[in-house]
Structure 1
């Protein structure tokens, strides 16, 4: 059994942890308003989840219609970039403008972006709309967690996070299906237009029920001074530079090219400068205070958050390559084959949430969950053209169940080491790390995959020079489809399927190392008790306060 660490003045882990405030705690009883808020947040998260995956089937039709060429990658990258880079800024907005208005703004921005995408007449307009969508999506997901953290004690947060995780999982799973149905029966524009009425419902529910407290005494100038514009500028510029390098590395430009290395190095230099600036007087209200990472366990949790999110996208982006180029599934069937990844995360998240709430222990959960994740990734190295449906489905279930447990327990553990006053900034920092991991979860396996393909081709793995030319130098990922393989004689089909199988095996062999490091790091975590009470300035407004505010607004209007 893993013992809970005793608190003492000499403990490194507890020197920076918040004081216990659960002496004689009042039992937490969620009200109707809390459930109504969670329902509204759930609908908003459903929108964000759908847009993460809905393009996987609809993309070819959209890209062909708008003639995007090799800039198609920015339809996805613009979404990820804006979603990631704006996370910390949303956290500061929540502190100075209140959770309610920031959440409503995020939903509004997302709906606006959906309208721009639906009405796009050019590729540039679509990419711009996706960037706007990404800002709204990132805000919705992150602010939802902040709101839940304001309304629910730390010990209980896993339960409500599991509800949002379940909704997000269902939305992600339905995305490819919804996209396929829409492009098959009507215009691709409804892939985006469908968000407008659903977003309207979410906005209405949150407008009615999401009434939470915040500091209304500060002037607009005082609020603006609390926003770390310098830190935001450095962070956004660094993220853009890194993502630009990763977008074309191994495809348009070689990894060794200055086109790749220069923006990559500038981006990493910018991140180091950002970390330094955050610890100086230049930023009186730092975007991501370094005190969030002063304990060894906080650093471990941040690293494992990065690994978890990277490995999730590692699987999501390369299992379809196996299903289509090795198993020769159609795009729709490949989408269905990914359902275990999306759906089995739901029971995993529920188990993790219930265990965290009941025992208040995150270390055993992390050890067990990262062990499952490592096992699942290891089993993926066995996948080939002869793998049965039962085998790959079980392998996916193992990985996804562990991932669900990780998701609902990482954030509460990270929050345990900070004061409640830092809640918004801490949550934003965690989400930035998670989304930054998503970016690398595509770039790292892509580099491994392309390198392995080129290495095997150099050894004569494909007998046809024309086919070798098509899938070399980064072309293998775009060519990974059953229709591409079927156009060749059976003997050549066998060579292509074997080539893809060996390359994907190498991708997942390397993933074992990353997951194994995360597992070993989880063994070094120290536990502190999770708080059972709330101490926040952003809780629910009392009904009387809400009515008084509405009366004042009515008087101003009539006046």
Structure 2
């Protein structure tokens, strides 16, 4: 029942992670968001990323149960605020709260599994939970499209309320796990790394501001782009320097996690994996809606090959890890398929057949699935069980950080390339409407079909060219992952469990 409650909670995170992929252009149009649209996505991923290291510490200090319940409750609050939004600021605030909840949920699910199951068997359990997660992810774009076409975009967010309610009920009833209750609350709070968390959060916000506006509203050469980027990168360096000094007895991201080669490389791989996953998730629908001129519902259906195929490959990978204890070959094969898949996406155009884009998606999705359940075992194989929470929190942070870059980087590439190619649009009015970083917002069949046939073809070709550049850059990151995976050692996964946390058991009389 604990695993069942985690599966339902995973479903909550999965649907919300992808449900906006097909609905985002409609939402940004109705709220007249202009360049703010990117924050509807970035807010949830930024807050999700930066909060995970803190939740890792909270899980060690307060146990796993109450942080999990708190996370789902915060997500539900954010869903209600986002659904009832009547302004961009309110929607961004709601999405930020959703992100805080999702960050805690995503990371705590993995920590609890690590508490209950030895390393060698975790792959199979992770595969089961991911199957539920992937089902929700596959339904997300389709549900988002249907809600936009037949109801209201607000239900994209209200959908999180009933799912949150059921997840909360299951967690309250069944998530009965051990933790140390003897220490006072004040002593527990003193263990948290406040300075480290503050530096990390501010640095990430600064970097994301630069990535979001660089090349669109502001040139990359502008001081308003360069300054926050430099400050953010210096902040990251300051964060790691502070963690190494030893001033904080329990650092939020202990340096020891990176001291063995396999864990360090696995952390790089999880970042790249999160990046490529969301790179595909948020830009394939743009191809369907702006080049093939599909409506949101149809684009959600066209995206199903990606999300459906991920499920069986993730389950198979988890089973193989449990059966063989090997994770390195799965990472190597997975990243090679990702590189091949996104490379094939560069050939997609206005004349591409259903068979072509479906098969290309299957190739990339197979690679994503194989890597999904193989990275966490690689992170933890050479670390002690006492580092489960810290390593899982760092893994979750880097996965979410990759998701942020997987949306911000292709968005910047897309907008830059679209701006360069927009000169081929002969209608000056149409050209002006698509400039200054609003091409993503306008990537809908309804908007493009409002122009004459000749202008419509020019707009489609501009979208097509911009997307080709997006996929070309994605190939580079996938290849980096493929090369890095070869550097891991293949250590033996533990068959026993040694943890201070775990399932509560009744005391014998």
TM-score range, shorter chain: over 0.9
Say yes or no: does 1:439 pair with 2:392.
no
Match of 1:492 in 2: 455
Which deviates more from structure 2 when the two are superposed, residues 204-213 or residues 425-434? 204-213
1:123 aligns with 2:109: no
Checking the alignment, whether the CA contact within 8 Å between 2:5 and 2:170 is kept in structure 1 is: yes
CA offsets, 1:131-179, max 9 Å, x none?
A: 1111111111110000001001111111111122111111122223333
Whole-angstrom distance in 1 between the partners of 2:349 and 2:399: 30
Aligned to 1:359: 324
**Counterpart check, 1:114 vs 2:58:** no
State which of 530, 538, 559 in structure 1 corresponds to 2:501: 538
Contact 2:10 2:133 (8 Å CA) reproduced? yes
Q: What's the CA shift for 1:247?
A: 2.4
Alignment TM-score, normalising by the size of structure 1: 0.87
SS of the residue 1:387 aligns to: coil
What is the aligned partner in structure 2 of residue 4 from structure 1?
none
Aligned partner of 2:483 in structure 1 is 520
- Indicate the structure (1 or 2) with the bigger Cα radius of gyration: 1
Decide which of 148, 159, 178 is 2:124's aligned counterpart.
159
1:269 is matched with: 234
Match of 1:413 in 2: 378
Q: Secondary structure at the match of 1:357?
A: helix
TM-score between the two structures when normalised by the length of structure 2: 0.95
The separation in 2 between residues aligned to 1:61 and 1:363, in whole angstroms, is: 42
Give SS of 1:544's match.
coil
Residue 344 (1) aligns with residue 309 (2)? yes
State the alpha-carbon separation in 1 of the partners of residues 376 and 438 from structure 2.
38
Aligned to 1:391, which of 356, 359, 363?
Answer: 356
User: Of residues 380, 386, 394 in structure 2, which corresponds to 1:429?
Assistant: 394
Residue 444 of structure 1 and its aligned partner are, at CA, apart by 1.8
- Pairwise CA RMSD: 2.0
Match of 1:242 in 2: 207
CA distance in 2, matches of 1:447, 1:237: 21
* Shift of residue 185, structure 1, vs aligned partner: 5.0
Change (3 A) 1:420 1:320: same
In 1, distance between residues paired with 2:89 and 2:429?
33
SS in 1 for 2:501: coil
SS of residue matched to 1:384: coil
Cα 1:498–1:116 shift into 2, 3 Å: closer
Match of 1:404 among 369, 387, 390: 369
440-449 or 346-355: bigger deviation: 440-449
Q: Is the Cα–Cα contact under 8 Å of residues 28 and 34 in structure 2 kept in the other structure?
A: yes
Secondary structure at the counterpart of residue 352 of structure 2 = coil
By how many angstroms is 1:477 displaced?
2.2
Structure 2, unaligned runs of 5 or more: none
> Is 1:196 the equivalent of 2:196?
no
SS state at 2:350 partner = coil
Equivalent residues of 1:250, 1:473 under 8 A apart = no
User: 5+ unaligned residues in a row in structure 1: which ranges?
Assistant: 1-35, 549-559
Contact map agreement 2:193 2:251 (CA 8 A) in 1: yes
The residue that corresponds to 1:463 in the other structure is 426
TM-aligned CA deviation for residue 353 of structure 1 = 0.5
Q: Which of 320, 337, 347 is residue 382 of structure 1 equivalent to? A: 347
Q: 2:53 aligns with which of 84, 88, 96?
A: 88
Q: Take 2:184 and 2:168, find their aligned partners in 1: how far apart are those partners? A: 26
Shift of 1:211: 1.0
Q: Is residue 452–residue 506 contact of structure 1 (8 Å, CA) maintained in 2?
A: yes
Judging changes above 3 Å, is the alpha-carbon distance between structure 1 residues 506 and 74 closer, same or farther for their aligned structure 2 residues? closer
1:481 is displaced (CA, Å) by 2.4
**Helix, strand or coil for the counterpart of 1:531?**
coil
State the alpha-carbon separation in 2 of the partners of residues 448 and 219 from structure 1. 51
Contact kept? 2:40, 2:91, Cα under 8 Å: yes
Cα 1:443/1:527, change in 2 over 3 Å: same
How many matched pairs?
A: 509
Question: Could you tell me whether the CA contact under 8 Å between 1:292 and 1:417 is conserved in 2?
Answer: no
* TM superposition shift of 1:186: 4.6
- 2 CA distance for matches of 1:137 and 1:493? 40
Deviates more, 1:121-130 or 1:427-436: 121-130
How far residue 452 of structure 1 moved from its aligned partner, in angstroms, is 2.5
